Structure 1
Amino acid sequence: MSQGSAIVWVNGAFGAGKTSTARELQALIPGSTVFDPESVGAYLAHLLPPEEFAAVADFQDLVAWRRLVPETAAALLAQLPGTLIVPMTLLREDYRDEIFGALAARRIGVHHLLLHLEETILRKRIEGDDAEGRAAQWRLDHIDAYRRARGWLAQDAVAVDTAELTPAQAAARILEVVRSGTARCRIVQDPVSTRDTLAAAVLFFDDQDRVLLVDPVYKPGWEFPGGVVEEGEAPTAAAVREVAEELGFRLDPARLRLLVTDWEPHRGPRSGGLRLVFDGGRLTDRQRADLILPDAELRAWRFVSEAESAELLPLNKCKRLAAALRARAAGEQHYLEAGASDPF
């Protein structure tokens, strides 16, 4: 292993052998530590009111779990620098974005490995396991979820087929992959800011007046093109820079027209400060065909109607978009606080 702290995330279906493989991997990496995020779920089961915990089908659905896992991992690496081995099934892409993005914001590299078994072999292994019946049945019930997740997992993780491998052999194979660097997630993310920030977003439209959204790899949900204004940088210059980095084309700053200024209260990392929304105009067919997304930041783009955006954007950005569309239609500029035009 190279110098510096990093995480080896061992993913896979429930029953794929992650825990036993992680123990073998720990023996191969001097000074490494195993962190099982299930312990965070067990802690929350004792900490949260019973009705709060019972309201979710899986502890991964708890916001607290998804926030505490990267925080705990970072704290462990601060205490025990080196390699942190995390054996944990992670089948929802948005949860992966949230957790891995939080780690990337702390400059913690993640190597994403997937222990893979064909479904028939996986079922036989689970059914032949010594685990009590309820645990085995729970694993079988989640095979469908693993099958549905295989599409995005194949793009994000390096798979290690363990059908013919012992846990020790699987661990040795994982170590080879980690040393090669091919499993390292290429997430580009700035450190978490503890201060309010100034950010500039640009709205682009198609011929149907649908707005362009992009899907970041480092956090759940969709976003407007744009980003944080750097120290000493003009907001329009930041908008031009971010569009070039995210969409791959040079934006004429003369095309930009300010639609909305929104003051966002500080609710946690990466939130808080002034948010400027500019109108970037309509994209031509040629511009749409030439869009180039950076693999380490964005995985997709699409044009959506205002109604469709409600399914993709958080509430604060939905409010901001609605105000921007009203301002664009009226040829005005709107000032908001926390997404509201009347803060009182």
Structure 2
Amino acid sequence: MDCLRLAEALLEARGRQEVFRRALAALEEAGVIRCGEAYWVGEGLSLFQMQACRTTCPLVAHSRTLAEEALRRGERVEEGPFVALPVRQGAKTLAVVVLSLKEGQKPPEALPALLLLALKRPGLELAGRLLTAQEEERRRVGRELHDGVGSLLTAALLTLKVAEKRPEKLPEARKRVAEALEEVRRLSRELRIPLLDDLGLKEALARYLETYAKNGLKVEAHLEVPPLPKEKEVALFRVVQEALTNVLRHAKAQRVRVRLWREGDRLFGVVEDDGVGFDPEKTPASVGLLGMQERVQSLGGSFLVHAAPGQGTRVEFGVPL
């Protein structure tokens, strides 16, 4: 693999999680690995997962054990196609990456050194947290304004133009403006999620799903949610919220199923509908899907969409706890 390309990918990273995500993505794009995971070494040599694979990945069953062994030894550990590489600064291990190598491939020799350089950039973590939080919220508000308020106001404007010659259309124009105003109010309410502050993610989602079910859809929910840091609760609430919004707008579904569950040191989620589906190969990723992916990846997790025409859509995600 061209290490210069890997170094360039890491240069733009704005936080620890993005360093690992960019490194693993570059290795996958270069055909070196099938997938990979990353762990940060905390106090007491505890491992905190920073980047996780999907539920179906064979690496999941071996990853933490290999990472712990590499941390204990302070050197590379291999098991079949899997290899764990410690990222060390002197005698201290800062992180461990665990890779699932493609047949005949080896990780770049310079990978640990490049990761160390990226991780030790001054101000990396603080700048990353601030920028990520700001940009995620701006993108979300931008999507809501464009998709919701923007379309309603456009419809109102077109109706007003017609009403210039046909005054009987004025009530319809008033209705459109009222809908846009209600959408602005809804967006204002959703900029903050008071239920999360008071009740936590599980109860906040349960209450939200009750409201969502009033749209005529049958909702099946199975929520097993352990206590989480507030930033994770907010991000995961937004992911589920966006997935359900897409179902309402595009799926023409009759039933939607939402499931969150803990498995080991990860939280997995699924939002699945029985709607019209789509062809991922022919349909460009929407702003909403990209936003969900960005939120999940910012937590060190993985995001996957299964869809086919006439067969509904299934959104899967998994994040480290």
Specify the TM-score bucket, using the shorter chain as the normaliser.
Answer: under 0.3
Give the TM-score of the pair, scaled to structure 1. 0.25
Give the TM-score of the pair, scaled to structure 2. 0.26
